[in-house]
Structure 1
Amino acid sequence: MYTRLLSVLLLVFVISACQQNQPGVHSPDLSYFQPSDSGLQTGGVRMIPIQTPKGNFKVWTKRFGNNPQLKVLLLNGGPGATHEYFECFENFLPAASFEFIYYDQLGCGNSDNPNDTSFWDLNRYVSEVEQVRTALGLNKDNFVLLGHSWGGILAMEYALAHQENLKGLVISNMMSSCPDYGKYAQDELAKQMDPKVLDTIRQLEANKDFGNPKYMELLMPNFYTKHILRLPLDEWPEPVNRSFGKMNQSLYVTMQGPSEFGIAGKLVNWDRKADLPKITVPTLTIGGAHDTMDPEHMKWMATQVKSGTYLHCANGSHMSFYDDQATYFNGLLDFLKKL
């Protein structure tokens, strides 16, 4: 009996040793899962105090992994969505030992919501990101900022104000000019829609009847599943639905405007095309062939910054990290590894 047990244990040991020597089979990097702070553990969650001209608030962050050399802070889009639609990053970045940090901007998700539209301001959000960076101890030796959609606008603005703190920058699915974005939506995306459907949408927008259920009923199959996330609505990932279900409409409308065809809010005249050469840190721009944003513009952006790379997601739309996932994450991880 004991001889048989010994034989089994020996066989297990041999198999385990062989697996460790096989290409592609790795032992987990235990240091990646070590706490970065002593004391009470909260799963990496920290509420960061934010100072504003109208008082102090707190924003929610959550660290995933532990890598002193590279930490990616995620800026969600909307404006007004939450960190939750980024949850697919958990299937890719930890395997490469890259730390990343979820972050709900003020007014979003788990963060405080002052319910005051004066807070929905681009410069104030830049100040907020800088306060979050300081609190988390991010610096030029480890700090990578990834902004998606509206988060890409915020990332560009942050880089232009504080790039001395950055190791790298990722601008995902966002153009450097809102007027150009609006023109692309009108001249290219609108023309791809059924003329009868477009006429009805135009009438609803002209009447400012954005709350009419018909508006979203038409946009969902004719715009969202073609240019936001190219999957049937019943197959949209749960983290996306959860995030979009918590959208801060006050923040969204104030900054973006109520229409899906271009920008009509505070960002209507935002344009940083001429300032892109001022960005000197390594920068990755990402665009999708079916994006709400012009992929040619995002490709051009990579030629304007000092050290730019463009990643094209041929099957992707605005959320290419879902509908062209392999291309998106292979390109992103390659960029991060080179840093």
Structure 2
Amino acid sequence: MREGYLPVPGGNVWYRIVGGGAEGVPLLVLHGGPGASSDYLEPLEALADERPIIFYDQLGGGNSDRPNDPSLWTVNRSVAEIVAVREALDLDEVHILGQSWGTALAVEYYTLASGQNGVKSLVLSAPCLNAARWAADQQEHVADLPGSARAAISESETSGTFSSPEYQEAMMLFYNRHVCRMEPWPDCLNRTFEKLGYPVYEQMWGPSEFTVTGTLREYNCTPQLGGIGVPVLFTCGEFDEASPETTAFYASLVPGAEVRVFEDASHEHHLEKSEEYLKTVREFLRRAER
């Protein structure tokens, strides 16, 4: 294992490579957020017996620099960050796995002419590729919450104030249903929330997963999906924020894409159904290299 810092546009990001001596094509991991860290994706380390697994914390969160510059929090800069990481680590060939917001980055990066060079496959887990569709799915989930929780959410969204105990309680009820259904949450997921770069998350997304007010609120990269020319695996949980119906829709736009839905799991299905998830990804990566 090796770790350190790499220069990217806007500052330095922390990275970690597990299984550096393995012979398979490396897997570059793009975490969710925005503003989160890679901690919660630790189960992917189990794949390092076959290939190097490269994690990094995107600028503004985790162990990376946190510059106080709102102009940095854009899709284009985030994609330029991937370019810089890949170049610095000499990743001539690579598989890319994105989770949540990381799926949008994976698609955006692949869309670049340079991004297609040496990219063997994409794994898009719990995909967030269309903000309007995401928000609509979350409103359906919110509609299933108890009346008191719905009222607290509605009141906060009307007033624009999200610090009330009632809103925070409703948010955690939602998260325990649709973000991670494990009780208690794994330590790696707790670390990610502890390291969240909230200014980045709030500016780009909003105060919570289901209240989308940030600069990404009109984001949509689904028109780019038809141009993907490598194997693609979509995964989601039965109760995922990225609903099975929406995930299947995205997959329908990618020629030959595969889909796997994990029962009784949600957004963090890689944690909730870790053994099944790792087996699915491992076998997919093997097939993509044939």
TM bucket normalised to smaller: over 0.9
C-alpha distance in 2, partners of 1:84/1:143?
21
Tell me which of 52, 74, 87 is aligned to 1:121: 74
Q: Mark the structure with the bigger radius of gyration.
A: 1
TM-score, with length taken from structure 1 = 0.80
Please name the residue that 1:62 is paired with: 16
Please name the residue that 2:31 is paired with: 76
C-alpha distance in 1, partners of 2:129/2:62?
26
Contact kept, 8 Å, 2:237 with 2:263, in 1: the verdict is: yes
Amino acid at match of 1:120: W
Contact kept, 8 Å, 1:183 with 1:262, in 2: the verdict is: no
Q: 1:156 to 1:64 in 2, by over 3 A?
A: same
Contact kept, 8 Å, 2:96 with 2:121, in 1: the verdict is: yes
Tell me which of 185, 197, 204 is aligned to 2:156: 204
3-state SS of 1:280 partner: coil
Please name the residue that 2:250 is paired with: 301
3-state SS of 1:167 partner: strand
Question: Deviation string for 1:262-309 (max 9, x for gaps)?
Answer: 522111111122221111111111111100112112122223213311
C-alpha distance in 1, partners of 2:104/2:222?
12
Indicate the larger mover: 174-183 or 66-75.
66-75
Tell me which of 219, 225, 233 is aligned to 2:171: 219
Aligned residues: 285
Contact kept, 8 Å, 1:75 with 1:103, in 2: the verdict is: yes
C-alpha distance in 1, partners of 2:103/2:209?
17
C-alpha distance in 1, partners of 2:206/2:194?
18
What pairs up with 1:26-37 in 2 under 5 angstroms? Answer: none
Aligned-CA RMSD value: 1.5
Alpha-carbon shift at residue 87 of structure 1 (Å): 1.4
TM-score, with length taken from structure 2 = 0.93
What pairs up with 1:221-260 in 2 under 5 angstroms? Answer: 222-232=173-183, 235-260=184-209
Amino acid at match of 1:86: L
Q: 1:262 to 1:296 in 2, by over 3 A?
A: farther
Unaligned ranges ≥5, structure 2: none
What pairs up with 1:15-54 in 2 under 5 angstroms? Answer: 43-52=1-10
Contact kept, 8 Å, 1:71 with 1:98, in 2: the verdict is: yes
Higher relative contact order (Cα pairs below 8 Å, separated by 6+ residues): 2
Question: Deviation string for 1:71-119 (max 9, x for gaps)?
Answer: 11111111111111111222x2134x22201101111211111111111
C-alpha distance in 2, partners of 1:319/1:330?
16
What pairs up with 1:181-196 in 2 under 5 angstroms? Answer: 181-186=134-139, 188-196=140-148
Please name the residue that 1:165 is paired with: 118
Alpha-carbon shift at residue 177 of structure 1 (Å): 1.0
Unaligned ranges ≥5, structure 1: 1-42
Alpha-carbon shift at residue 182 of structure 1 (Å): 1.0
Please name the residue that 2:85 is paired with: 132
Alpha-carbon shift at residue 68 of structure 1 (Å): 4.2
C-alpha distance in 2, partners of 1:127/1:226?
34
C-alpha distance in 2, partners of 1:98/1:225?
33
Indicate the larger mover: 124-133 or 170-179.
170-179
Q: 1:81 to 1:308 in 2, by over 3 A?
A: same
Identity value in percent: 34
Amino acid at match of 2:48: P
Please name the residue that 1:143 is paired with: 94
Question: Deviation string for 1:131-189 (max 9, x for gaps)?
Answer: 111111112xx301111111111111111112223111111101321111111112x21
